[in-house]
């Protein structure tokens, strides 16, 4: 798994073959992370500057809207390499 893009204390974008995963730091008092696999249309939009940061902001602002896409145990199941 490769780290494609990261913004400290905000999000990390990972790539594994053709799949992309976005890990977003959420919460204020209690910090937690939501990891989603990007859909095909989201992967296409990655070419647009700032898209990943905007998507991360949406996930952070509305985590309940992404809960069904959330991958549980991502950080312990998959290893990332820079």
Q: Would you kindly state where each structural domain of the chain is located, as residue ranges?
A: 2-72
**What per-residue confidence (pLDDT) applies to 82?**
54
Query: pLDDT band at 67, cuts 50/70/90?
Result: very high
Shortest CA distance to 14 belongs to which of 81, 72, 69?
A: 81
**What per-residue confidence (pLDDT) applies to 53?**
97
Number of Cβ within 10 Å of residue 8's Cβ equals 7
pTM of the prediction?
0.86
**What per-residue confidence (pLDDT) applies to 81?**
55
The CA distance from 73 to 39, in Å, is 19
Query: Quick one: tokens of 38?
Result: 């990007």
Helical residues (DSSP H) of the chain, grouped into ranges: 40-45, 51-61, 74-77
């Amino acid at each position: 798994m490769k780290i494609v893009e990261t913004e400290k204390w905000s999000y990390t974008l990972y790539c594994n073959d053709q799949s992309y995963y976005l890990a977003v730091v959420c919460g204020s008092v209690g910090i937690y992370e939501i990891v989603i696999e990007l859909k095909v249309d989201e992967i296409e939009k990655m070419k647009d500057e700032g898209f990943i940061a905007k998507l991360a902001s949406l996930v952070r602002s509305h985590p309940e809207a992404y809960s069904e896409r959330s991958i549980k145990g991502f950080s312990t199941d998959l290893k990332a390499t820079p």
